[in-house]
Amino acid sequence: MNGLLVLIPIALLLGMLGLGAFLWSLRSGQYDDLDGAAHRILSDNDDAPNA
């Protein structure tokens, strides 16, 4: 039973991390153009840092 006291907080923390990551991606507009994102990955110089 003592394992629970460690495992439950860990499980919750990981879950919260996932939730936080999702909310961040949502706020930064990553869901605004899903089709575009799928195509942009094909052009290799798009959004790339300057060489």
Binding interface with other proteins (CB under 8 A)? 1, 4, 8, 11-12, 15-16, 18-19, 22-23, 26-27, 31-36, 39-43, 45-46, 51
Q: Give whichever of 6 and 51 is closer to other proteins, judged by the CB atom.
A: 51
Alpha helices in the chain (DSSP H): 2-27, 34-40
Of 6 and 32, CB closest to other proteins: 32
Go through 6-21 and write b for each residue having 16 or more CB atoms within 10 A of its CB, e for each that does not. Answer: eeeeeeeeeeeeeeee
For other proteins, the closer of residues 6 and 42 by Cβ is 42
